Amino acid sequence: MRFAMLVTAALLAGFAAPAAATPGGRETVSVQIDHARVIRLPERTQTVIVGNPIIADVTVQRNGVLVLTGKSYGVTNLIALDGAGQLLAESMISVQAPSESVVVVQRGLDRESYSCTPHCQPSILLGDANKFFGETSAQAQQRNSFATGR
């Protein structure tokens, strides 16, 4: 199989949560940033295209299963093509901020995000202040290197 980047509505029929129809008739599937969703590909899919791989990423597994991962906030599309290049399915993908257990602290123009599950701890999200984002991600990377011995 050959894989490029894009999304489709028929792709999402198997595993996707209820999707909203867009004015163009395509369905929109929502996924949270840093979360994944499992989708069944249409039969005969040979090429999968993601319109903007900065917003969403896909990994094709065996047996026609695709894993969709939200990478950045925004909307893009997903397309599935057969071996002859014919369109099999197309969907819109909406990547959104997490809504559960996240507290956002606004300090003037600077924003900080905390995951409160149940105790609040720093949790970087796109849009957080550069200083907070940098310090928190540096600590996470350092902790990970200690844990993995690298």
- Has this prediction a pTM greater than 0.85? no
Question: Residue 77 and residue 90: Cα distance in Å, rounded?
Answer: 7
Q: Please, which pLDDT band fits residue 20 given cuts at 50, 70 and 90?
A: low
Q: Please, which pLDDT band fits residue 27 given cuts at 50, 70 and 90?
A: confident
Question: Residue 132 and residue 89: Cα distance in Å, rounded?
Answer: 41
CB neighbours (10 Å) of residue 9?
A: 24
Q: How far is CA 141 from CA 24, 111, 115, 136, in A?
A: 43, 21, 17, 9
